[in-house]
A = this chain, B = another copy of it.
């Protein structure tokens, strides 16, 4: 029913292979034949059947994106669209298409990854998270399919490529930024600790305190599971302390937003009574009141480099497995200031 290479060949009085060669713009075909063949293609409204090519070439020119479970959560976070935008940009340049996992649970996503890989639907993958006890990465490793992880792998990091920020360093710098302003009592609010990025940021925070000769106070360190009402509880606990922190490092701006709101409701002013520095610098950081000082992790770049890496890896499977660290930048806005003497 739809027009094939053979139809074109017949009409142009050449062989199918010639048409195929024209399709791939082979240098062995004379300009004259090329022109002739292209003309008949147009006349017939021919368009290549990608699947047929895929079948013989064993290259799909598609990459799979493995989402963090659950998609619901990861999508609520503006981080996701931004990273996707970075991935898209490079993929589009290299004419790769993007295929998304659709599952909600870890298990559902894993099964889809298997289908993508075994079913040969993608040439490579980008894993949008790095997590302890994850099944996807070990599976991909075992299948020897090109893939790149965004975030530092929890283990075997030398066997795979990853794109990440130096989250330890970034959190250290964020903490030091507060210290340089004069803060000495600095809290930390993280979220799901099973993700590597949280561990790193927590460690960086600790390092920042320690290298400045400050103590790490356990009561100042909290976890925040998004979606629950932990915020209120956390702020309750922090406020109940006789010696309260004057500043907090918060692992994600979505969380910082919630914290700032909660502080506001209790009449605690930001930054006067509490300085806040957050991570990610998504659009939310600019929208908060006051706008947040935030560590810009350059999400777009993270995605862009990740897709560059997989695509390079696809073309050279034996490539040296280097990893890419995207620098972070502190965007100073209005949620941080020098601590109030009165409060010290």
* Chain B residues near A118 (CB-CB < 8 A): 47-48
A34 within 8 A of B: no
Give the nearest-CB partner of A75 in chain B: B81
* Chain B residues near A88 (CB-CB < 8 A): 71, 100, 102-103
A317 within 8 A of B: no
Partner of A80, one of B72, B81, B97: B81
Give the nearest-CB partner of A74 in chain B: B81
Give the nearest-CB partner of A291 in chain B: B261
How close is A312's CB to chain B, nearest CB, in angstroms? 17
Give the nearest-CB partner of A108 in chain B: B92
How close is A263's CB to chain B, nearest CB, in angstroms? 12
A289 within 8 A of B: yes
How many residues of chain A get a CB closer than 8 Å to chain B's CBs?
51
How close is A143's CB to chain B, nearest CB, in angstroms? 10
Q: How many subunits of this chain does the assembly comprise?
A: 2
* Chain B residues near A82 (CB-CB < 8 A): 75-76
How close is A229's CB to chain B, nearest CB, in angstroms? 13
Tell me the bound Cα distance from A279 to B75 in angstroms: 19
Interface stretch, picked from A51-59, A160-168, A169-177, A210-218, is: A51-59
Query: Is A120 within 8 A of B75, CB to CB?
Result: no
Tell me the chain A residues, 80-105 only, with Cβ under 8 Å from chain B.
80-82, 84-85, 88-89, 91-92, 96-100, 102-104
Tell me the bound Cα distance from A85 to B261 in angstroms: 27
How close is A239's CB to chain B, nearest CB, in angstroms? 20
How close is A96's CB to chain B, nearest CB, in angstroms? 8
A224 within 8 A of B: no
Query: Is B261 within 8 A of A50, CB to CB?
Result: no
Partner of A287, one of B75, B85, B120, B261: B261
* Chain B residues near A267 (CB-CB < 8 A): none
Partner of A78, one of B78, B92, B99, B119: B78
* Chain B residues near A81 (CB-CB < 8 A): 75-76, 78, 80-81
A284 within 8 A of B: yes
* Chain B residues near A315 (CB-CB < 8 A): none
With A78-B78, A100-B100 as given contacts, are A55 and B51 in contact (CB-CB < 8 Å)? yes
With A50-B119, A50-B121, A51-B121 as given contacts, are A89 and B60 in contact (CB-CB < 8 Å)? no
A264 within 8 A of B: yes
* Shortest 9 CB-CB contacts between residues of A and residues of B: A47-B118, A75-B81, A50-B119, A92-B102, A88-B102, A98-B100, A51-B54, A51-B55, A91-B102
18 A-B pairs (CB sep. < 8 Å): A47-B118, A49-B120, A50-B119, A51-B119, A51-B121, A62-B99, A72-B85, A88-B102, A88-B103, A89-B102, A92-B102, A92-B104, A97-B102, A97-B112, A98-B102, A100-B100, A261-B289, A284-B284
